[in-house]
Amino acid sequence: MSSTQKLHVLFACSEAEPLAKVGGLGDVAGALPAEIMRTAGEQVDIRLIIPFHAVIKQKNPPVGLIGSFPIKTKAGQLLCDLYVTDLDGVITYLLDSDGINHNSPVYYGDASLDGRKYAQFSVALLEAMRFIDWQINILHANDWHSALAVYALKDLYQADPFFIHTKAILTVHNLPYNGFGADAAMTDLGFTPCRDPDLPDWARLTPLPLGLAAADRIVTVSPGYAEEILTPDYGCGLDGFLRLHQEKLSGIVNGIDLEKWNPETDEYIGHPYSIDRLHSKQLNKLDLQRELGLEMNPELPLFTVVSRLDFQKGIGLIFDAIPDLAHQNWQLVILGTGAKELEERARDIAAAYPHKIISIQKYDDVLSHKLYASGDIFLMPSLYEPCGLSQMIAMRYGNIPVARATGGLKNTIIDFYASPENATGFLFAEKSAEGLKNALESALNVFKNKQIWYRLQRNAMSADFSWRRSALQYLQIYQELSQNSI
């Protein structure tokens, strides 16, 4: 590639906000490619590709049909339709076919149906680039749903001149999701089991490990998580493989949408505020206390949780720790739904402390803004956390996190005891209710000292959680890979 040619990057993902969002992956694909495009200017042409999910069709965004092309299967061929739209200035391709989409949900929640959908998506997205004759320098895949596109470059297209210069990055957002159940679909598409002796046997027809094996670079969504997955505790059976290939592994922390999450301009809160107008934050707390029927007292420390009620999030530790603090004055509001057992425990504990604890079991974006804005202390005792967005949002609202020192939480929160002057929150290491209880007690004590608490809030609210930081680091990797490929 000459120096005047733009680097072609295809960013492949299963979801992208606002077209389709199920979780944090949608946030990333909705924001990162656009930020990379703005940051890189003329150097990079980055485009996005996602399946044309039913939920996108229902929204009826302006799309243009580019055309139809086939992909080969054992039974013959599968016809795919390629559409194009725009997402925040990024050319975005939508892939459709009976197999990929079939008016399906983003995820079926069924291993073999999802396996088939995303195995076909992974092959079709490469064929789509051939169809439009757009040669890619970098394929940037995300999680197991597009990991097979990375493996396809080595297994199906190794000798194909069209992909001869294509390098691949695989970003891992959540290692335990391997894409089990795709083997039948893979065989049908002509994939062969990977013979890499470094992989465990169970991984030879499993999308995520195959992507890891084939990728030129592996990125996790925080340096902390990149270290942790090298250990048996966090490595999901792939730690041995990852230790052998550490040289291609690194971590880049995600960003948050600084316009959506801005206490100065937030339309969902009654009293916008900034570092210099923190008294308005207390008015938001009074509003929330009134709305939820809690005692209206701005001096009471308000604990908040905005989370999926999932075991990964360490929600059980909260229910175990909180009764030991019941003698102290505080309030707790938990917003989240998820595992039945945890929902039940949330209901039980709210019933046991009706004047202190409220559990709201729904997904409510507006209410989440109110909780971030009115809370004093944000609980996030995750057992593991590849990156985590909620703690960054909370800090932006001066809602000080008490979190487990794991993964991205370790990289985004500066612990009070490690660096009191620069601190933005409280971290604890133990995976136990005792650890959380001690950290909460520390936070409650420091909360009493208005001056020190203000310093924590000021530090937290001025931390840089922009996507630009992540974009610059990804660009660096794109440049390194492209130099090696030419």
- Chain residues in the site for ligand ADP (CB under 6 A): 23-24, 306-308, 335-337, 363-365, 368, 388-390, 393
CB of 229 to ligand ADP, least distance (A): 16
CB of 402 to ligand ADP, least distance (A): 15
The vertex-237 CA angle with 232 and 239, nearest 5°, equals 55
CB of 365 to ligand ADP, least distance (A): 5
Number of Cβ within 10 Å of residue 387's Cβ equals 26
CB of 239 to ligand ADP, least distance (A): 21
Q: How far apart are CA 479 and CA 486, in angstroms?
A: 11
- For ligand ADP, which is the closer residue by CB, 377 or 481? 377
CB of 171 to ligand ADP, least distance (A): 14
Instruction: Provide the token pair at 31.
Output: 């924001």
**Residue 133, Ramachandran bin (φ over 0: left; ψ between -120 and 50: alpha; else beta):** left
- For ligand ADP, which is the closer residue by CB, 56 or 335? 335
CB of 441 to ligand ADP, least distance (A): 24
CB of 288 to ligand ADP, least distance (A): 14
- For ligand ADP, which is the closer residue by CB, 167 or 369? 369
CB of 24 to ligand ADP, least distance (A): 3
Say whether the peptide bond before residue 18 is cis (omega within 30 degrees of 0).
Answer: yes
Burial class of 179 by CB neighbour count within 10 A (0 to 12, 13 to 18, 19+): buried
- For ligand ADP, which is the closer residue by CB, 242 or 335? 335
- For ligand ADP, which is the closer residue by CB, 186 or 389? 389
- For ligand ADP, which is the closer residue by CB, 24 or 115? 24
Residue whose token pair is 């942790």: 228
Is the separation of the CB atoms in 439 and 293 below 8 Å? no
CB of 216 to ligand ADP, least distance (A): 26
CB of 364 to ligand ADP, least distance (A): 5
Residue sitting closest to ligand ADP (CB): 24
CB of 263 to ligand ADP, least distance (A): 14
